[in-house]
Chains A and B, each alone.
Chain A
Amino acid sequence: MSLTWLFEPFSHEFMQRALFGCALIGFTNGALSAFIVIRRLALMADAMAHSLLPGVAVALILFGLVPGTLFVGALVAALLVAFGTQIISNSSRIKEDTALGLLFACSFSLGLVLISFSRVSVNVSDYLFGNILGLGDADLWVIYLISFIVLPMLVALERPLLLTVFEPSVAASQGVPVNTLKYLLMGLLVLSMISSLQAVGVILALGMLIAPAATIYLLSDSFTSMFWLGGTLGAVGSCTGLLISFWLNLPSGPCIVLVLGVIFLVAYLFSPKYGVVTRLLRPRHLHEASLARWKLSEQQRTTANDKEHQR
Chain B
Amino acid sequence: MSDHRLEIKDLTVSYRRVPAVHHVSLELRCGSCVGLLGPNGAGKTSLFKALVGLVPLETGSMSFHGDSQGLLKSTIAYLPQRTTVDWDFPITVRRMVEMGRYQALGWWRSFREEDRQAVGRALEAMELEELGERQISALSGGQQQRAFLARALAQEAHVFLLDEPFSGLDKPAQDLLSGAIRRLANAGNLLVVSHHDLRTVRDLFDQVIFLNGELVAFGDTNLVFTAENIRKTFQTHIFSGSAHEPDLAV
Residues of A within 8 A of B76 (CB): 173
Residues of B within 8 A of A263 (CB): none
Known pairs A156-B108, A174-B103; A222 contacts B54 (CB<8 A)? no
Report whether B91 and A157 are in contact in the complex, using a CB–CB cutoff of 8 Å: no
Q: Does B85 contact A (CB under 8 A)?
A: yes
CA distance A226 to B95 in the complex (A): 14
Report whether B89 and A173 are in contact in the complex, using a CB–CB cutoff of 8 Å: no
For the complex formed, measure the closest distance between the CB of B87 and the CB atoms of chain A, giving whole angstroms: 11
Residues of A within 8 A of B85 (CB): 166-167
Tier of interface size on chain B: 20 to 34
- For A159, give its contact among B73, B89, B102 (CB under 8 Å): B102
Interface residue ranges, A against B (CB under 8 Å):
38, 156-157, 159-160, 162-163, 165-167, 169-170, 172-175, 217, 220-223, 226
11 contacts between A and B (CB under 8 A): A38-B86, A156-B107, A159-B102, A166-B89, A166-B99, A173-B54, A173-B77, A221-B92, A221-B135, A222-B95, A223-B91
Residues of A within 8 A of B79 (CB): 170
Q: Does B84 contact A (CB under 8 A)?
A: yes
* CB proximity to A under 8 Å, residues B30-89: 49, 52-54, 73-74, 76-80, 84-86, 89
CA distance A166 to B80 in the complex (A): 12
Residues of A within 8 A of B80 (CB): 167, 169-170
Q: Which residue of A lies closest to B106 (CB)?
A: A159
Q: Which residue of A lies closest to B95 (CB)?
A: A222
Residues of B within 8 A of A217 (CB): 90
Q: Which residue of B lies closest to A165 (CB)?
A: B89
For the complex formed, measure the closest distance between the CB of A176 and the CB atoms of chain B, giving whole angstroms: 9
The number of A-B residue pairs with CB atoms under 8 Å apart is 66
Report whether A222 and B103 are in contact in the complex, using a CB–CB cutoff of 8 Å: no
* CB proximity to A under 8 Å, residues B90-125: 90-92, 95-96, 99, 102-103, 105, 107-108
- For A221, give its contact among B49, B91, B107 (CB under 8 Å): B91
Report whether B99 and A38 are in contact in the complex, using a CB–CB cutoff of 8 Å: no
Top 10 nearest A-B pairs (CB, nearest first) are: A173-B52, A221-B135, A175-B73, A173-B78, A159-B102, A221-B90, A223-B90, A159-B107, A172-B54, A174-B73
* CB proximity to A under 8 Å, residues B170-209: none
For the complex formed, measure the closest distance between the CB of B192 and the CB atoms of chain A, giving whole angstroms: 14
Report whether B103 and A175 are in contact in the complex, using a CB–CB cutoff of 8 Å: yes
For the complex formed, measure the closest distance between the CB of B47 and the CB atoms of chain A, giving whole angstroms: 13
Residue of A156, A159, A175, A217 with most chain B CB atoms under a 10 A cut-off: A159
